[in-house]
A and B are shown apart, each in its own frame.
Chain A
Amino acid sequence: MSAGRPSPAPAGVSRPPAPRPARRRPVTFLVAPAVVLVLACLAALALGARSVDPSTTVDTLAGLLTGAGTAPGDIDAAAVLSRIPRTVTAILVGAALAVSGVALQGATRNPLGDPGLLGLTAGASLAVALGLGAGLPSGLGTAVVLAILGTVLAAVVVYAVASAASRLGAGTGAAPGPLSLVLAGAAVTAGCTAATSALLILSPAVLERFRFWTVGSVARTSLEDAAWLAPVVVVGILMVLVAAPGLDALALGDELAHGLGSRPERLRMTLLGATVLLTAAATALAGPVVFVGLLVPHALRRFRPASTRVLVVGCALWGAVLLVTADLAGRVVIAPQEIHVGVTTVLIGVPVLLVLLRRRAVSL
C-alpha cells in the first residue's frame, strides 16, 4: 500500500469509539458498600416476623457491646439477639462466595465462573452427605473438611473434562472454554445431586441430619460456629487480595502473562485454592448457595473499579449486603413463612444472568 495516501475506509466503518469514562475512585467503592452494609444489618436485625423499632435495636446492640446485657423477658431484645447469628452468617457467606466468584473467573478466564454453576457446591454437599453416611461425627469441623474434599474433587473433574473438551487451538496455556466449563459443571451438579438423593433414600440416618441441606439457608448456624469459620473466610479473601494484581495479566493468556513477569501457574493455584476454601466454608455454613459469585463481580465490574484489589474488597462488601438483604427479604415477604437464601439468590441471580446474556454483556 502506498504510505502517502490513506486507504479509503470500507463501507460501514464507524468512527473511533469515544474515550472510556474515567475509573471510579476507590473511596466510592469501599465507603458506599460499608455504609449500606451497616444499614442492611440494622434492618435485618430489626425486621422480621416480629418487627422491632430502630431505637430498641440499637439499644440492644449497645447493651451487647458494653456487656450490660438485656433485661430478661424483653421480647424485642430477644428477637434482635436471635437474628444476630444468621446475620453474621449471611455476611460471611456472602463475602466468601462473591470473592470466590472473582477468583474463579480470573483463574479460569471464564465470565461464568461461579462455584455453584461449576459444580463445586454440589460436590461439597455430596461429600458432607457421604461423610454423614459413613458415620462421621456431624460437627462443623467435619463438615468443613468434608466440604473442602468435595470441592477439590469436583473442581478437578470439571477442570480436567473442560480442558479436554475445549478446542486447544488457542495455543499453550489456554484455559478451558466457558461453555465446556458450564456444561461440565452442569453434569457434575446433576450427578452429585443424584448421588446425594440416592444416599438420602438409602440411609435414613443421613436423611435425618441432611434433609435441611438440600436448600441453602443461613438459619442453621450458631454464632460460635460462624465465629469458628470466620478466620477461614478471612484467609481466603486475603489470598485473593494478594493475588489480585496478577488477575489482569492472567486474563491475557499464560504466555503473555509470563512475558509480563507474572507466574501464571502459581497465581492460578492460589486463586483456585482460595476458591476451594471460600466455597467449602460457605457451604459448610449455609448449604448450597449459588450465583452470588456470578452476580456480584459482574455487577461491580460495570462500575469500573480502579484496581482489581478494590474490586475484590468491593465484592466482599457487596456480597455481604446481598446475602443479608436476601435473607431479610426471604423472612419478610411471606411472613411468617420463610424463603431461604438458597432460593432467593437464584431467584435474583438467574434473571440477571439472562439479561446479561441477552445484552451480550457476557462474551462467550
Chain B
Amino acid sequence: MDTESGARAVPEATDGTTAGPPSPGGPPPAIRLRGVTLGYGDRVVVGPGQALDLDLPTGQTTAIIGANGCGKSTLLRGLTRQLPRLTGTLEVLGRSAEHWPARSYARTVALLPQSPVAPDGMTVEQLVDRGRHPHRGWFGARTSTDTEAIARALELADLVELAGTDVSELSGGQRQRAWLALVLAQQTPVVLLDEPTSYLDLSHQVELMDLVRSLPDPTVAGQRATVVAVLHELNLASRSADHVVAMAHGQVVAAGPPGQVLTPALLEEVYGLDADVVPDPLLGHPVVLPRTPADRLGA
C-alpha cells in the first residue's frame, strides 16, 4: 500500500550511483527516499543540486559514512521526521511517512541520538522504561507487556544485574548499552543510531556494534532489525555493516556492500584520503589503511 504524496516531479537517479541494493529478489527496502532535500531555513544540507534517492535494505545493518558536515546526521533527522523534508517523499516499510501520527511512527522507527544526557537519579530500569512511551496511552499506565519488553531489552543488552543501578554510576560502555536498551524497549523494526560509538573504548565499540548487528526484528519472526547507524570509524563500519552508504556534500556518492564501497578511489573522493584497502585476514571485510606522501616515498 504505497502512498506517495506531495512530491514534485523529480528525475529518478539515472547514473546508478545512488540506487538502492541491486538485488530484485530480496524483500522490499525498509526505507525509501525519493527526491528528498533537507535543510535549515534556506540552506539545503542534504540534496543540494540534485535531490536524494536512497533505498535502505530491510533486515540489514546499514552504516552511513562521510566527512564532517556531509549531511549524515541531517539525513538521520530527516528519517525521524524531526527535520521536515523540504521536498520529496519518505516511505518506511512501504507506508508513506506523511500524516503518520507521532506515537505510531515511534513504534516503527526509534532513534538513539548522539551523546544523550540522562537526568539525575535514574536507575537503568527507569531509563529503559522510558522507551515504552510510544506504547502507552494517555494516562501512562504500565501493563505487563511493558514489563516484558523492558525485561527483554535488558536481557539483550546484558544489563539485568545492573537494572537497579543508577545510570550515572555505569561505565561508558555500560551506559551506552543502557541507552540502547531504551531503544530496544521501544520494540521497533527500524532502529536509527547517531554515532553510537563516540567516546567509547575500542573494545566497547566492537561489543556494541556486534550487539546492534544481532538485534532481532520484534515484528517479524526470524528476521533481524533494520539498523541504520551513522558511524565515524571506517573500519568499524566495514566490520559491522552489511550495507554502506557514503555521503559527501549532501549527496550519496556510493551505496552497497562494504567491499564495493570502500575503495581507494571513493575514499579519495569522499574524504580526500589517500589509503590502501586490504581484506581483513580473519573476517574478510575491507580494512582501510591511511597513507601519507611521506609513507609512500619511504616504501
Contacts and interface: CB of A to CB of B under 8 A. Distances in A.
Give yes or no for direct A-B contact (beta carbon below 8 Å): yes
Interface of A: 1-8, 10-13
Contacts of B45: 11-12
A175 B249 CA distance: 39
A2 B272 contact: yes
Given A1-B273, A13-B69, A8 B293 contact: no
In the A-B complex, list the 8 residue pairs whose CB atoms are closest, starting with the nearest: A10-B69, A7-B272, A11-B249, A11-B250, A2-B274, A10-B67, A1-B272, A12-B69
Contacts of B274: 1-2
In this complex, the member of A4, A7, A8, A11 whose beta carbon has the largest number of chain B beta carbons within 10 angstroms is A11
B234 to A, nearest CB: 14
Interface in B191-227: none
Contact of A11 (B70, B269, B271, B292): B70
A6 B67 CA distance: 14
Given A1-B292, A2-B293, A8 B272 contact: yes
Given A8-B248, A11-B48, A2 B292 contact: yes
Interface residues of B, number: 18
Contacts of B8: none
13 contacts: A1-B273, A1-B274, A1-B292, A3-B292, A3-B293, A7-B272, A8-B272, A10-B67, A11-B45, A11-B48, A11-B69, A11-B250, A12-B69
Interface in B108-127: none
Nearest to B71: A11
B249 A5 contact: no
Nearest to A2: B274
Nearest to B67: A10
B70 A10 contact: yes
Nearest to A4: B293
Contact of B43 (A2, A7, A8, A12): A12
Contacts, number: 37
A117 to B, nearest CB: 27
Contacts of A1: 272-274, 292
Nearest to B294: A3
B39 to A, nearest CB: 9
Nearest to B249: A11
B251 to A, nearest CB: 9
A346 B249 CA distance: 49
Interface of A, helix, strand, loop or mixed by DSSP: loop
B17 interface: no
B69 A5 contact: no
B260 interface: no
B270 to A, nearest CB: 8
B68 interface: yes
Given A2-B292, A13-B69, A8 B249 contact: yes
A305 to B, nearest CB: 35
Contacts of B292: 1-3
Interface in B269-294: 269, 271-274, 292-293
Nearest to A7: B272
Interface in B47-72: 48, 67-71
A2 B71 CA distance: 23
In this complex, the member of A2, A4, A5, A13 whose beta carbon has the largest number of chain B beta carbons within 10 angstroms is A2
Nearest to B270: A8
Contacts of B43: 12
A10 B68 contact: yes
A7 B69 CA distance: 13
Given A2-B292, A12-B43, A13-B69, A7 B249 contact: no
B291 to A, nearest CB: 9
Interface in B91-120: none
A5 B293 CA distance: 11
In this complex, the member of B71, B271, B272, B292 whose beta carbon has the largest number of chain A beta carbons within 10 angstroms is B272
In this complex, the member of A1, A4, A6, A7 whose beta carbon has the largest number of chain B beta carbons within 10 angstroms is A1
Contacts of A8: 67, 248-249, 269, 272
Interface string B239-282: 00000000011100000000000000000010111100000000
A2 B294 CA distance: 9
A357 B45 CA distance: 28
Contacts of B67: 7-8, 10
A1 B271 CA distance: 8
Contacts of B269: 8
Contacts of B71: 11
A7 B273 CA distance: 8
In this complex, the member of A6, A7, A8 whose beta carbon has the largest number of chain B beta carbons within 10 angstroms is A8
